[in-house]
A and B are shown apart, each in its own frame.
With several copies, the nearest count.
Chain A
Amino acid sequence: MRENRPYTATRNACKMCTPLGAALAFHGIEGTIPLLHGSQGCSTYMRRYLISHFKEPVDIASSNFSEETAIFGGGANLKTAIQNIARQYNPEMIGIATTCLSETIGDDVDMIIESMGDIMKETALVHVSTPSYSGTHVDGFHHAVRAVVDQYNPSGVKNRKNSRARKKINLFPGMLSNEDLRHLKAIFKDINTELALLPDYSERLEGPSWMEYQSIQHGGTPIKEIQKMHRATGSIEFGTILAASVERGNGSAGSLLESRFNIPLASMGIPIGVKATDRFFSLLEKMTLKMIPKKYKEQRGRLIDAYVDGNKYVSKKRAIVYGEEDFVAAMAGFLAEIGIIPVLCASGGKSGLFIESLRSILPENIFKQVSIHQGMDFTDMEEHARTLMPDLAIGNSKGYTMTRHLDIPLVRVGFPIHDRVGGFRTLHIGYKGAQQLFDTIVNTLLQKRQDASEVGYSYM
């Protein structure tokens, strides 16, 4: 593990805490309100953080611990909270995520929930354990997805798969953007295949303006779709690290369905770039036995033509890439494909699987030029980057301070985007996503060159 963090403290973290991921995932389920079992501040901070990215209302309830709660246990508060939420929102589901506080005092949330079974007829209660001292927001996200799938697809349920049924695919995309999720839905629509996409916050966290107040916004994966997941033709899960983690025995939503119901699971990296998208479409072809529509082939053709047209502007350029491990891995694969060397791949995550993932994605000649760091913060990253002569950085807004110090441009992708609008609308995946990433990266480099030039030609 190339990790030589000289500091005990984390200085400008490149990660968020576990419950945030769970709260986001719960927002991708229809009629669901996330509830954090802990102090009021957690939900307020995370709401604020998510709002700054999505520019949409993000309601996260809290069980509002007080000093007495911490001493006598959070059961009563949790019950009150659930009842109050039910009364105020009338949700289909409350997604309960624990914070470090309630985890540490040891509330038995499952028992508390069970004890409420009788009074909560219309609202399902799903609990996910997300102690913030363990893992990052990514873990919270995946765990929440798994918890929901687990609860709605219990072992006993009958697997009514029949050969007459239409092909139906479960897709667990991980933490993608709204536009990414819309793109996935459009692809399935174009190949006329049913899709259960979990989670899907694309509508809920990017809806139209309202005529009237909506206590829970439109959209999200319908719970009845989640309930049918055990009857799907197959599941797809994005994320090489997630897949490797599953191989090491950690569960995921897809692996749960596979082991419990024998639903075949295909895992692959996030489809960023031509090669990864080829892989995705090829997988779809195999699973659905449908042809890729002409539209996507045309997009691919234009994309490769664009790669060629712009090859010289990116060749041998040096990029810093950071963010969630799976996102960085996929992005690094894309960069290698267009000729950019991802000289520094960094993440605040600490799966222990980062290097292996990158090794499997990157060609050997690129891989050996890459400095890979898990559990890295932005201050370390900046210090390390100074030795690497980077031309640009690619990642979320939180790297801005670093890139400002390094005097290199930042291509904003991923989560969170706090200093620009429309970050949640960035398309990363598919041929079109690669097209937009490619154009943006090339134009960022061109702008840098043009503005830095004493002459500033208006012709390239």
Chain B
Amino acid sequence: MKQISAKKLLLPSSSTGSISILEERKQQVYLKGNDTFEISCEKKSVAGSVSQRACVFCGSRVVLYPIADALHLIHGPIGCASYTWDIRGALSSGPELHRMSFSTDLSETDVIYGGEKKLEKALVELIETYSPKAAFVYCTCIVGIIGDDVEAVCRNVALKSGIPVLPVHSEGFKGTKKDGYKAACDALFKLIDLGYRRSSFHYPDILRDGKQKIPLSINILGEFNIGGETWIIREYYKRMGVEVVSVMTGDGRVEYVQSAHRACLNVVQCSGALTYLAKTMEAAYGIPYIRVSYFGIEDTADALYDVASFFTEAQEIMERTKHLVQEEVEELLPGLEEMKQDLTGKRAAIYVGGAFKAFSLIKALRHLGMEVVLVGSQTGNREDYELLKEMCRPGTVILDDANPLELAKYVIEKDAHIFIGGVKERPIAYKLGIGFCDHNHERKIPLAGFEGMLNFAREVHDTVTSPVWDLVPRKAGRSSSIQIPVKGEKP
């Protein structure tokens, strides 16, 4: 058994003192208040590390996944499709084509002789069967090697089928998950621009000129309708009097994506993923964008106020917004207050995909009286880490692209009560007898908006106050010996 003693892990004055951190990783760990040098993020993961990061394909897949009336065909051997089948809680109010896992399932012969024909045949058959409104073809590692001309196949099938067929250049090795976001944004932009150029799109109940702006309208970018979050947020904007043209890509539909160019403002939620698209749309159609978060009370309120402020031409929007926020917060507070009683002073560790999410989590946890003792992200940039540094109290550990060893080392050291991260972090937290909250895309419960905050608080509360932690060896102070006195025992 390889064990790293918790005591040995006690941080020296510099967080890099422990032998267990790879030399190359030293600059990706920062201990607020102790270290003076800067965190080194946006590096590729080190070969041989067991990173929590995924690949380019993963990035593209998560962004485009919720478009429910599109066909998503993964071009490659079966693995990439198998491991991503129906794993995300992105809900649809209508079609559910996104929940199917389609793959060209390349075999040895295909690899030798090329997969273009198989791809074309697969596409044609699937489009015929499922009548999607568009098709995305995800290129996986091997496609980049065997050199299939996916662009050509897509063009071909688009001509035949009359629907947009868009290649997504998501070969796993061609960068990081962020590059996958970019590839997805490219595909999305192509789709939007097709709509823009065609101008034949009929937006329901509004002027028929396809290129004309829709007044008081926005797109929501980087919101994936996990557990119905899109619906919650849409409802807020509706109550404010703001028209949501398109959500990318929560409860997404090709038709609405294609009309995104008609919105007045892009509201970008997921820090890493969709900013690139917002910038592209700004350049192409002059649509400005703002970055927001819908997680936590403050951030949600800010997100709504920011949008309201944008529409200076309609003062009533701000009035409605104020009313909405007040109403929602009042409903929320008693419940939160009750849970805060149990949670005050409890310690949390955060490790999430994007740094922006980390900001919101820190604020939300503080709202519950909790202390953040560790925070890290897979894809934060320098700017993000600067902000994190500012937000955190001295003694907080800040990590970029951490591996399980590091995560475990610091959560033990910081004696966290709960770990907030993605599904891959769960077993680490649990093995160490620490509560866990999934703040990633596989959860099924909405955590966005005001009601999401209540769900989040409830989940944190449920797990932090569970009695099972009393039994874990780390807490019970014994490995597996049994020394509980016998109650009611006679002589």
* A interface, CB within 8 angstroms of B: 6-13, 15-17, 19-20, 31, 35, 38-49, 51-52, 55-67, 69-70, 77-78, 80-85, 87-90, 99-101, 104-105, 131-134, 136, 207-218, 240, 243, 264-269, 274-275, 278-279, 281-283, 285-286, 292, 297-298, 300-301, 304-305, 307-309, 311-312, 315-316, 336-339, 348, 360, 363, 379, 398, 401, 453, 455, 457-459
**Cβ A212 vs Cβ B488 within 8 A:** no
Q: Is the beta-carbon distance between B2 and A13 smaller than 8 angstroms? A: no
Determine how close the nearest CB of chain A comes to the CB of B444; give it in whole angstroms: 6
- The number of A-B residue pairs with CB atoms under 8 Å apart is 372
**CA separation between A132 and B2, bound complex, in Å?**
31
Q: Total interface residues on B, using CB and 8 Å?
A: 113
Closest-CB distance, A195 to chain B (whole angstroms): 18
The 5 A-B pairs of least Cβ separation, nearest first, read: A41-B55, A17-B79, A84-B48, A81-B48, A39-B172
Cβ–Cβ contact A44 & B424, under 8 A: yes
B33 in contact (CB, < 8 A): no
A282 touches B4 (CB 8 A): no
What is the interface of chain B, defined by CB distance below 8 A to chain A? 1-6, 9, 20, 22, 24, 44-58, 73, 76-87, 89, 91, 99-108, 110-111, 118, 121-122, 125-126, 129, 140-142, 144-146, 172-176, 403-405, 408-409, 412, 423-424, 426-428, 430-433, 435-436, 442, 444, 459, 462-463, 465-469, 471-474, 479-491
Nearest B residue to A316, CB-CB: B462
B residues in contact with A66, CB < 8 Å = 44, 173-175
Q: A15-B82, A44-B52, A212-B412 are in contact. Are A51 and B427 (CB under 8 A)?
A: yes
Contacting pair B489 A35 (CB below 8 A): no
Choose among A63, A300, A338 the residue that contacts B480 (Cβ–Cβ < 8 A): A300
Interface of B: prevailing SS: loop
Given A70-B173, A100-B142, A267-B490, does the pair A458, B53 have CB atoms closer than 8 Å?
no
Residues from chain B with Cβ under 8 Å of A301 in the complex: 480
Contacts A15-B82, A311-B469 known; 17 new A-B pairs at CB < 8 A: A8-B125, A10-B103, A42-B79, A51-B427, A56-B427, A66-B173, A84-B49, A87-B22, A88-B20, A104-B145, A209-B433, A213-B405, A264-B490, A267-B490, A297-B480, A298-B480, A459-B87
A81 touches B47 (CB 8 A): yes
A268 to B490, CA, bound (A): 9
CA of A398 to CA of B489, assembled, Å: 33
The smallest beta-carbon distance between A187 and chain B, in angstroms, is 13
Residues on the B chain within 8 Å of A304, using CB: 468, 471-473
- Identify which of B1, B20, B51, B76 gathers the most chain A CB atoms within 10 Å of its CB: B1
How long is the Cα–Cα vector from A355 to B402 in the complex, in angstroms?
A: 48
Contact between chains at B105 and A9 (CB < 8 Å): yes
Known: A44-B51, A283-B489. A212 touches B174 (CB 8 A): no
Given the contacts A278-B484, A339-B466, A45 and B84 also touching, CB distance less than 8 Å = yes
Asked if A11 and B487 sit within 8 Å, CB to CB, the answer is no
